[in-house]
Structure 1
Amino acid sequence: MASSSSSSNPHVTLEVGEENTYPYPYPSHVYNTHSFLTLKLSGRGEYGVWKTQMICLLESHGMLGIIDGTLVSPENSSSEYRLWRRSDALVKGWILGSLSKETLVYIVNRLTGGKRHQEDFSAKDVWDELQKVYAPVFPKLPPVVAPPVGADTLQDEDLAGDLHSLYNNIQRGYWDWVEYTLNGGRVTVIDKITNNGNTALHVAVGTSKKREFLEILLEKIPENTQLTDVTNSDGSTLLHVAAIIGNTEAAKILVARNPELLAEDNEGQTPLALALSNMHTETARHLLQHINTDTQKDALFSGTTGDGLLVTVISSKDFRFAIDLLEHYKTLNSDAVLMAIAQNLPLNVFEKYKGFLYLYGSLWHKITERCTPWASKFIINPFLYVTTIIIMLFLIIPWMLVSQITKRRFQIHKDAMVLLSNVSGLIKENNNSSSYHHYYTNPILEATRQNAYQVVEVIVSHFPHAIWSANEDGHNIIQYAVINRSEKVYNLLFQMSEHRNIYRTVRDSYGNNLLHLAARLAPNNKLNLISGAALQIQRELQWFKEVERFICPLSVIQRNSFNETPQTVFTREHKELVIEGEKWMKSTAESYTITAALIITIVFAAAITVPGGSDQNKGIPIFNNNTAFTVFAISDAISLFTSVTSLLMFLSILTARFAEQDFLFKLPTKLIIGLATLFISTTAMIVAFGATLYLVFGHRNSRILIPIAVLTCLPITSFVTLQFPLVLDLISTTYGLSIFGKNIRDYRLDGEMLI
């Protein structure tokens, strides 16, 4: 059919023959609408301005009837429906085009229920939904029948004022004013008083935890109204609101009155799920007690929803509640629960202390082995006993101070291990052995990446075949542990007497053996745990040397599919890290070189110009027979000699060649000696200065020794606090207990015994 323009409106197109039957406006030449729509709706504060500009646009094109209900939709079967549909689509496009991206997605999802490709909503539906969501907190009252002539025209304003007063007074907890407003009779507790359809009861549950206040409000619900009928625009009942904010008192009252409130809202969320997702464990525990029927349990504790509940609890680290929750499960739907445990397993608080004591014992064992019997008996052993007492004091006192925190952390770890065992048992009990791998493959690989060796042990103990789990690149857990530098999982290799030899020659799809994988650069999240590029390259070398000692000798020179040996891969992958390590080592040495040179200058000058001066006839210092002068002389000499030694060490670092292998022992050893002697030099210098102060000012007042001693300890303590962690890291990584602690065995390499 041809089309022609209406004579009354040149921009309105109608089908020929239908101008007088059912005219629907439709601009045939829509000019640029940006002159009207200069603001896109993105929040509640912009709704008034946005609405004004939209009404101007619609009125100017004669399309306002589409949204105000004047031009209603005809029957689908009528010939006019297509014309109305076209006009409605144009207005809907204008409205949707005036929304921000976030607002557009949100509104369309609300109108379609989250379903894609379902667009059966009109322009008026969009307009009304926007008004419901973004209109002011107290929207316009619904249209009422026009009052007769002479009626009080302020009635609507009074009602709006009562709603506003009710909202504010409930939030503030002013019960007397709330009761006064309700007794006025114009409003009730189930009237919707917010833009998202919350009633006075919703607001009370969300703001007040006073039991008496809530109970009094609940008593004012009309007789024929059920609690399940009191919902907002999202379908949330009062119990949903209580679960979201963790109002346990309100939850107890509501569930006791009507257990059916435990049902889902419009989005399929139960109050229990909302309480867990918002980490309100106490509220969730109470709700769980009221889930008694098999129907409720099957709905909550099965399928994806059931797994999601457990994952939420595990993510909040409440493993005790997760154990209680697991008792209601008959089976699990996926690997999500095991995966959540692998990602959130807490560290055993005792491992740090155990590792430190093991490191301490190992160090002294090595020292005593290399000393003569006389030195061990009269020097090493007494020093060892004193050091042990000091260390135990430093461990016991903090333990006593934080014992409750430590016990709680220990209990959390214990609960996590119990949960892990129970979950593994549930999977094994209720599934066929052929489907086990669907549950443990991804979790055991994630545990390997996280270095959660206890998760790996428990999974393998329940599912022995899990040891052969592989990722998408075909790497099993030991290969994956080497790639991700998970030393605790790698150490499990030495408990696998049955399969250990397989890993000596195993190769992946690219021909990489275990040493090729160790030659790769470690992931950034593992490198960032180590301070300084020099220590990072040292750790990488330790991994390479460890795996090199384990594999077969021929594998050391074996080439992969890219014709690269492990050493070639290591050099290529760590080229940039070696450069960064060189820069870090040089900058550190340069900084300490200046400090050592400054100390040399000071203590050398102090040795020449002794405090108090010298006898002009004999040249002997005046305070020669004073004990404080002896302390000064010895301290100054120690400071001079150690600072010179420190300076030489730092200079040797600056002139080193910085080869890869030097970062393993040579360079760290020089840095350790330089830092240790610098610390001794600084301490001796401070002591010498304190002795000088006492000689000059304290010969008549011995009490001046107290502030001198206190002030002397201040810089020493500061130096230890700021620099000792670096020294400790260097010593522990270079000469301390190997990170491969479970692999305590002797190796012979180039004629040397390595432990």
Structure 2
Amino acid sequence: MAGSSSNPHVTLEVGEENPYPYPSHFYTPSFVTLKLSGRDEYEIWKTQMLCLLESHGMLGFIDGTLVIPQTSNNVSGKEKVGDHQTHHKLWRRSDALVKGWILGALSKQTLTYVVDRLKEKVYQERNAADFCAKEVWDELETMFAPAVVPPELLVVEDTIRDQERAEVQKQLYKATLGGKWRDVEIVLVERQVTVLNKITNNGNTALHVAVGTSKEPWFLQRLLGVIPENRHLLDVRNSDGSTLLHVAAIVGNTEATDILLGRYPQLLLAKDNKGHTPLAIALSNMHTETSKLLLQYINTDIEKDALFSGTSGDEHLVNVISSKDFGFAKDLMQHYKTLHTDAVLMAIAQNFPCELSILEEYIGTDMVEQRDVFCETCGNCIFDIFERCSPCVSLFCIVPCFIGIDYCLMLLLRIVRMLVSPFIKERVRIHEDAMELLEDACSLTIKTKHSSSFPQYYTNPILEAARQNSYEVVQRIVYFFPSAIMSANEDGHNVIQYAVINRSEKVYNLLYEMSEHRNIYRTIKDSSGNNLLHLAARLAPSNKLNLISRAALQIQRELLWFKEVEGFVCPLSIIQKNSSGETPKMVFTREHKDLVIEGEKWMKSTAESYTITATLIITIVFAAAITVPGGSNQDTGVPIFTYKTAFTIFAISDAISLFAVVTSLLMFLSILTARFAEQDFLLKLPTKLIIGLTTLFISTTAMIVAFAATLYIVFGQSHSRVLIPIAVLTCLPITSFVTL
């Protein structure tokens, strides 16, 4: 051979013996780095492929220069026939190599579609799989290459047809947006635009618009009906790379999703420019019904592995958990073979619902024993009778059966459950689903991961649960992973220490459920020498402080927390110093210095405001006491209405108001003269404030009652009905104040 070489990577030169090059060991991805999957990628892909073919002298296999040799039976001579047959084999070998390069640089969806198209074209003439590289290249040109406009027509196309095409696209957009099929059909008949052409600035076609705006399935089906049967929709994308199914997932168009997947199931695994599948889009937009429909079309293990594996698969669960749809998340968990990160457990810890109240827990767990008691009259279970029949029939049939107090108690509890259950049933269901999801996630981690890797799955979630004060999550994680209780953050603080820092009292209370481990925390220290009381002395996080209004009450809460931890630790820990030489008391004073100042300012300003209010009330009620309604007898000085019941109410209410408001005034004055020491905020100052506010409220209430009694004395003697509006108006301010 003219140019043969022992190096397999060297391209064979064209010669008399081998006129066709054959670089069989060349690594194609080093030249062609892009998998062709759509029209937008074609120009880049074509440029890379042409460089590859031209660099190896194989461009003739696609441009028609190197045509297939004829194997003519008319050739005379044994040697000539043999030469033609040899050249034919060599050409087919090189052509197959070029064809393999081209097909290997296509995406899976594009490859399937192109091969099916070529098989349909050639099966009438020859073997269905016997198509050459040029036919593959021409088919790709037909599918993806832009239409070639002759140069002499470019000016005409640009100047004359652009405005007309834009107007037609606008008409098609409006007709599609309004769901008017007749108008759409008129535009399509003109053949100036199709449903596959982009008609909006962001590259949406009429199909995108219909899927995104129309809720009528028939309208989308008619639009899909005008698409050629052999045309797939994977390359019909907007500027975001979204297919029609992506758009349906974004808007939650469940009907369109069902139609598209029924016709084009390959859209299920398509990804947009950001690598998101339609399922991921539907889950992130919290379209539960659309997501459930997409899940129904996932049948094969390949599809499950593609959608529910890796960090992107975990993100699906995180999106559902973040929307607090724990029931759907629990169903979605069944598709997972393993969890790849701690993101799922972290999402559960961050979004776990609040704990159930005693009543909700009773309704949810069926604490009352449900014994079947049958009626002697009809023979049915009495509880079934009560639920099915009207109250009168139920009582007539059931009451004779209950001759014991146990049965009466059972019926009463059942009635309470029936009345309350509709209001709390949803919260109970959500809580149960969340707990089951947490257990499933922990169980799946234990089954699929080695024990040595457990900490990387539970450490961050259990610390987050401790921060959120979600003690149920902490309990369940510790149940599945007992060593999780010793998990520590980057500062070296374990779960209990982290709970103390974040004021998570429910997680902290787990200390009292421990046995031998509890004593460890009495003396435990962190890397800075801080014991548990040092950590309690720190200022609480702002999100926990903001749960309590006003600085004075915040300081009180901080002091209560400090006293609680102080009672738990060893007595020696109270005076121990950390590595900075500070005792817990010193840390508390330093951390809360600014809060004490703010508390003092608030207490003084509040006391001053209420002092003015109390002074005004004293003036009013004292004046009312000496100027009684109706006046007094000029001879005896006794009030005219002394023996009236309304006057007695007035006198008593006015006296109560005066004494209460004087007490309130004295309390607020004592606050203004207080020393405002740090420890005073624990009991003295809050107690004075509460007494002052309570007595002021009592005084205000008594003053309103006294005023109402005066109104009745003056205007209600001959009109007793006046008492009704007076009573209503009297209750209005009192009720409003108590409510607010």
TM-score by length of 2: 0.70
Amino acid at match of 1:261: L
C-alpha displacement of 1:349: 4.7
Residues in 2 aligned to 1:431 and 1:148: alpha-carbon distance in whole angstroms: 64
Equivalent of 1:426 in 444, 447, 456? 444
Task: Pick closer, same or farther for the CA change 1:618–1:292 going to 2, 3 Å.
Answer: same
Equivalent of 2:204 in 193, 198, 202? 198
C-alpha displacement of 1:505: 0.6
| Structure 2 equivalent of residue 560 of structure 1 | 578
Task: Pick closer, same or farther for the CA change 1:170–1:398 going to 2, 3 Å.
Answer: farther
Residues in 2 aligned to 1:467 and 1:611: alpha-carbon distance in whole angstroms: 72
| Structure 2 equivalent of residue 166 of structure 1 | 172
Residues in 2 aligned to 1:148 and 1:559: alpha-carbon distance in whole angstroms: 86
Residues in 1 aligned to 2:435 and 2:510: alpha-carbon distance in whole angstroms: 18
Aligned residue runs from structure 1 range 514-553, under 5 A = 514-553=532-571
Equivalent of 2:288 in 270, 281, 287? 281
Aligned residue runs from structure 1 range 482-497, under 5 A = 482-497=500-515
Residues in 2 aligned to 1:482 and 1:695: alpha-carbon distance in whole angstroms: 61
Q: Does 1:600 align with 2:600?
A: no
Equivalent of 2:191 in 173, 185, 200? 185
Q: Does 1:466 align with 2:472?
A: no
Task: Pick closer, same or farther for the CA change 1:517–1:298 going to 2, 3 Å.
Answer: same
Q: Is the 8 A contact 1:159 1:186 kept in 2?
A: yes
Task: Pick closer, same or farther for the CA change 1:434–1:283 going to 2, 3 Å.
Answer: same
After superposing the two structures, state which structure 1 stretch, 649-658 or 142-151, moved more. 142-151
Please list the CA deviations of residues 724-753 of structure 1 after superposition, one character each: whole Å capped at 9, or x if unmatched: xxxxxxxxxxxxxxxxxxxxxxxxxxxxxx
Task: Pick closer, same or farther for the CA change 1:502–1:624 going to 2, 3 Å.
Answer: same
Q: Is the 8 A contact 1:349 1:406 kept in 2?
A: no
C-alpha displacement of 1:691: 0.6
Aligned residue runs from structure 1 range 238-637, under 5 A = 238-265=244-271, 266-350=273-357, 404=422, 406-637=424-655
Q: Which has the higher Rg, Structure 1 or Structure 2?
A: 2
Q: Does 1:222 align with 2:199?
A: no
C-alpha displacement of 1:403: 6.2
Task: Pick closer, same or farther for the CA change 1:699–1:470 going to 2, 3 Å.
Answer: same
Amino acid at match of 2:164: D
C-alpha displacement of 1:171: 0.9
Amino acid at match of 1:287: L
After superposing the two structures, state which structure 1 stretch, 688-697 or 344-353, moved more. 344-353
SS of residue in 1 equivalent to 2:234: helix
Please list the CA deviations of residues 497-521 of structure 1 after superposition, one character each: whole Å capped at 9, or x if unmatched: 1200000011111111111111111
Residues in 1 aligned to 2:452 and 2:157: alpha-carbon distance in whole angstroms: 79
Amino acid at match of 1:718: S
TM-score by length of 1: 0.69
SS of residue in 2 equivalent to 1:592: helix
How many residue pairs get matched?
Answer: 546
Amino acid at match of 1:275: A
C-alpha displacement of 1:234: 3.8
Structure 1 unaligned residues grouped into runs of 5+: 1-73, 77-139, 356-396, 723-755
Task: Pick closer, same or farther for the CA change 1:695–1:220 going to 2, 3 Å.
Answer: same
SS of residue in 2 equivalent to 1:227: coil
Task: Pick closer, same or farther for the CA change 1:148–1:704 going to 2, 3 Å.
Answer: closer
Residues in 1 aligned to 2:316 and 2:715: alpha-carbon distance in whole angstroms: 73
Aligned residue runs from structure 1 range 30-45, under 5 A = none
Q: Is the 8 A contact 1:451 1:489 kept in 2?
A: yes
Residues in 1 aligned to 2:596 and 2:535: alpha-carbon distance in whole angstroms: 18
C-alpha displacement of 1:197: 2.8
Q: Is the 8 A contact 1:632 1:689 kept in 2?
A: yes
Amino acid at match of 2:538: R
Residues in 1 aligned to 2:582 and 2:279: alpha-carbon distance in whole angstroms: 57
Amino acid at match of 2:605: S
RMSD: 2.7
Amino acid at match of 2:353: P
Amino acid at match of 1:441: T
Residues in 2 aligned to 1:668 and 1:225: alpha-carbon distance in whole angstroms: 77
Amino acid at match of 1:701: H
Equivalent of 2:665 in 624, 641, 647? 647
Structure 1 consecutive aligned stretches of length 4 or more whose deviation exceeds 6 Å: 148-153, 351-355, 397-403
Please list the CA deviations of residues 250-299 of structure 1 after superposition, one character each: whole Å capped at 9, or x if unmatched: 00000011211112224321110111111111101100110111011011
C-alpha displacement of 1:679: 0.9
Please list the CA deviations of residues 467-501 of structure 1 after superposition, one character each: whole Å capped at 9, or x if unmatched: 10011111111111111111111011110112000
C-alpha displacement of 1:160: 3.0
Please list the CA deviations of residues 18-64 of structure 1 after superposition, one character each: whole Å capped at 9, or x if unmatched: xxxxxxxxxxxxxxxxxxxxxxxxxxxxxxxxxxxxxxxxxxxxxxx
Q: Is the 8 A contact 2:618 2:658 kept in 1?
A: yes
SS of residue in 2 equivalent to 1:297: helix
